[in-house]
Homo-oligomer: A and B are copies of this chain.
Amino acid sequence: MSRILSHLGALRCVEAAARHQSYTRAAGELSVSQAAVSQQIRQVEDLLGVKLFLRRGRNMVPTAKGKELAAQLGAGFQAIVDGVNRIQTEPLAGTLNITTTQSMATMLLMPNLWKFHQRHPEIPLRVTVSAELEDLRHSDIDIAIRFGFLEPSELHQKILFEDARVPLCSPQLLEHVDLSSPENLRDCWLVDADYRTGYGWRAWLERAGLDIPDDEIKWLQVSNMDVALSVVMSGHGIFLGSPTLSKQSVRAGTLVQPFPQHIEGGTRYNLLYDGASPRVERIRAFESWLLELVRET
């Protein structure tokens, strides 16, 4: 049997490094130092007598052989993890790791977590807010709640909700700007998180029967919904957001919907998880709770 199997740890480094094209990021995933990864990979290269990575500026690019090996290693490790997952079903009770966006966390998740706790006190939740979609298969995250249209993957994907978008601002804004008529939108920042798709405020204004020329509008274009929300929360503008997401905030008075007009679509939130995870039981518990929550909102 190949003596390489005495160096499985080193092969893990190879696989992760090839995937990340970076020793540093691989080290991050494996929770070891960069130096450790470097040493392990060199060991494999020496053992096999094959160069696996080439330094290309800031990246470590796998060679052709490196790529081939890494792909096969990935399949191998996946088979192993699958094998373990198949026989090991963790009990319902236990921690659940969730990652989501800032806006989802502050507007829907956090304010309702106590209800989940009430139903499942045996499942402590750990919520991580991050802008990037974590790699569920290579991290310790169990569930991701993400905005937008996702590529199909091997993960279990479920559309949480799709809905319209309505103008939303903070009550403070109304103290400074008179928003009794849509015409007055000229007077405040229109926060636009859709500057790449172009869909957004332009569509809404049209819907409201307004034709304000571009140069009379104060645009504030931001990269995503989270930034938009934080801008608006601090009272500096108005943005188009999901009614589902904002409903509770509106009811609580922290957000205001100054006009009834809405535009269709444009908002979609998804729930993602690995159906083969040993923690599916608690994942499903969370999923069904969240779906209920969304349905009744």
Q: Chain A: residues with CB nearer than 8 A to chain B?
A: 1-6, 8-9, 11-12, 29, 48-50, 65, 68-69, 71-73, 75-88, 137-140, 278
- With contacts A8-B12, A9-B8, A88-B50 taken as known, whether A73 is within 8 angstroms of B81 at the C-beta atoms is no
Given contacts A8-B9, A8-B12, contact A73 B69 (CB under 8 A): no
Known A-B contacts: A1-B138, A72-B79. Give 5 more (CB < 8 A): A1-B140, A6-B9, A48-B84, A72-B86, A75-B83
| Chain B residues in 8 Å Cβ range of A137 | 1
Cβ of A81 and Cβ of B1 under 8 Å apart?
A: yes
Residues of B within 8 A of A88 (CB): 48-50
Tell whether A65 pairs with B48 under 8 Å between CB atoms, given A73-B80, A76-B80.
no
In whole angstroms, how far apart are the Cα atoms of A86 and B66 in the complex? Answer: 11
Q: Is the CB of A83 within 8 A of B87?
A: no
**Contact between chains at B48 and A68 (CB < 8 Å):** no
On chain B, the residues within 8 Å of A68 by CB distance are 83, 86-87
Q: Nearest Cβ distance between residue A56 and chain B, in whole angstroms?
A: 19
- Establish whether residues A80 and B140, one from each chain, have CB atoms under 8 Å apart when the complex forms: no
Q: Which residues of B contact A85 (CB under 8 A)?
A: 2
The reply to whether A84 and B138 contact each other, CB–CB distance below 8 Å, is no
Determine if B2 and A50 form an interchain contact, defined as CB atoms under 8 angstroms apart.
Answer: no
The chain B residue sitting closest to A86, CB to CB, is: B68
**Across the two chains, which residue of chain B brings its CB closest to A66?**
B87
In-complex Cβ contact of A72 among B4, B75, B80, B278 (8 A): B80
Please state if A87 and B75 are interface contacts (CB–CB under 8 Å): no
Residue of B with least CB distance to A140? B1
Q: Within 8 Å CB of A140, what residues of B? A: 1, 3
- The smallest C-beta distance from A175 to any residue of chain B, in angstroms, reads 50
